[in-house]
Chain A
């Protein structure tokens, strides 16, 4: 039967899609700040030093001789007027064991211009790009998920923030700095919100278990790649992540990937487990309907794909413009039973 979309209508839809692409670039952090609730306020005094020394990310480094500085606020207003370049902020916090079952986020507010944040020596987030490929991200709010394995529960945890300021105001300049828990925590059985391997370009061999990703970049998931050193990059890219599964082998699992900009195809141990949108067959990048980026991904994993022990997820992505990547969580594995419960609860909360 004849079902032809009016060409004019297609053009209008195209324009709307373009508008959507343009308008959604501003929003990317997950969860949105209003979905978080504050567990520990971290405004106030932090230890501070200008300079660049990679020892300063380590918890055991003694910063007792450092200056103290008020956070948030530009360092220019606190005795470092005219200083541009590298500086470090450090602070120790206690995290009680009772928070172990929550998804914890560190909100570092707005940092001028570029930052890298470490918890107990482990990188948990980075926004903007340090020199020599400098690019600022002064207008992005830093909300970083803290992988549970980096946390020292019922003990002291060292936050170290490496900052680079190009000119004018510098430092952790504004925001509501603190430790937060995500209100809409889905209750992932395996949380995969952490550093992933990342490489622009396209090569189907990258889905294979034995593919060597040793020399790939490392970026955070979820976050758009533009904020992690791949500013203005559009096109194909791959993510890879190794994870350890100790869940019973017969458990039905769902891989939750939050939102991806724009089109994706996902492999576990070399087997395709899901996709959203259609990759173009002719090599053009004109493939998105403009709606894929906003689709919540939950892929049901076929029986027998996930093994007890080491597994590899590979995500092939095509970003057709604007921001790109696995940009909004939650990201991880959940049993089907809990996933069904999660969606039923969402529905109940609406009624």
Chain B
């Protein structure tokens, strides 16, 4: 399925003159803006290029030992329609064999597969690692979600071949692994973390103020990978409130000094609690992130929250040193994708926070172009 997606939405043109002036500015600066706000991911293994491909459907094709040497070859990313399979709709499988010898030691690794049209199930070395959209009979497209999955390091075979197998179902029009980055990546912003909270957090949809408290029965909470949208983890189309909880203890080397909690980017609004007490929300960030915030003209109808980088100073008196600390994050997602969807997520020292802020200063909304962009347009940052 393919629909033309507009990346720019005109909210309310103030006047024709304003609009044309602003449009010109947008053309001049939108490209760099677009890049600057993307995640700073670095490639470990390039997976674009030739993949083995077959239309059809057989679960045996997820098996790493399956012999796909008789299969066709297709260029990834790219629609299969553009590569000889015009008009084909339905199931198809992609397979790619690769080796990996430069795995980072403690940094989460992400598999990026760009956009897959329409729905897919992804296997690494025979193990199902992700599913986006829904396969028939309860078909549901996920063609506009960029696939990004955290892969636990132990899933990789460090000494030999690894096989990714992707089962794709396309309903109609464009099909396949159609565009976007394809490879294994890590997030360079994770280097600013002294304590990395990437991983599985406890998760519950709905809203209950009591969930901020340290003593909550988490029996009926599920596990959700952070950072990643909840839509990519089974909560298709969920909008509204949801809570995340995560427990940590500080190591010896962090027993003194100011510490900051980084929660990356959250879609849309977050309220953050440590050991039962509120330490911040996204609106605390607004003043020093938006150059023109105090201008009443620009405070209406804004859509900046999902794109703001969350870093909250941790009040020393609320932190247990030593002992177990509990973070609870109440998230409200207005519509579209939701959740703690982009890193870095973890603890930063004052110094690393400063380095992190400096690195992203020009991409977090504190300049005139961002003011223009954020006031008059909504835009994709992916």
Contacts and interface: CB of A to CB of B under 8 A. Distances in A.
Instruction: Name the residue among B55, B378, B380 with the largest chain A CB count within 10 angstroms.
Output: B55
Contact of B84 (A2, A295, A347): A347
B288 interface: no
A144 B85 CA distance: 28
A308 interface: no
B4 A2 contact: no
B89 A295 contact: yes
B303 A275 contact: no
A272 B84 CA distance: 29
A9 interface: yes
Interface string A321-351: 0000000000000001001100110111011
Interface in B65-121: 72, 83-91
Contacts of A272: 136-137
A89 to B, nearest CB: 37
Given A6-B6, A295-B172, A275 B137 contact: yes
A1 B382 contact: yes
A252 interface: yes
A275 B136 contact: yes
A296 B171 contact: no
A277 B171 CA distance: 8
A273 interface: yes
A254 B89 CA distance: 12
Given A291-B173, A300-B90, A343 B4 contact: no
A6 B172 contact: no
A292 B2 CA distance: 11
Contacts of B90: 254, 298-300
B152 interface: no
A271 B90 CA distance: 18
Interface string A156-187: 00000000000000000000000000000000
B85 A295 contact: no
Contact of A6 (B9, B84, B88): B9
Contacts of A49: none
A13 B306 CA distance: 28
A276 B137 contact: no
A140 B337 CA distance: 49
A225 B198 CA distance: 57
Nearest to A254: B90
Instruction: Name the residue among A3, A6, A274 with the largest chain B CB count within 10 angstroms.
Output: A3
Contact of B5 (A5, A292, A339, A344): A5
A53 interface: no
Nearest to A299: B90
A2 B378 contact: yes
Contacts of B88: 296, 298, 343
B381 A5 contact: no
Contacts of A210: none
B69 to A, nearest CB: 15
Given A2-B306, A274-B136, A340-B54, A346 B4 contact: no
A133 interface: no
Contact of A292 (B6, B86, B172): B172
Contacts of B159: none
11 contacts: A1-B336, A1-B380, A2-B306, A2-B336, A4-B9, A5-B4, A5-B5, A298-B88, A299-B136, A343-B85, A350-B86
Interface of B: 3-6, 8-10, 54-58, 72, 83-91, 136-137, 139, 144, 171-173, 267, 303, 306, 335-337, 341, 378, 380-382
Which 3 residue pairs spanning A and B have beta carbons closest together? A347-B84, A295-B172, A272-B137
Given A252-B57, A291-B173, A299-B90, 13 more contacts: A1-B267, A1-B306, A1-B380, A2-B380, A3-B336, A4-B6, A6-B10, A289-B3, A300-B57, A343-B85, A344-B55, A348-B84, A350-B86
Interface of A: 1-6, 9, 13, 252, 254, 271-277, 289, 291-292, 294-300, 302, 336, 339-340, 343-344, 346-348, 350-351
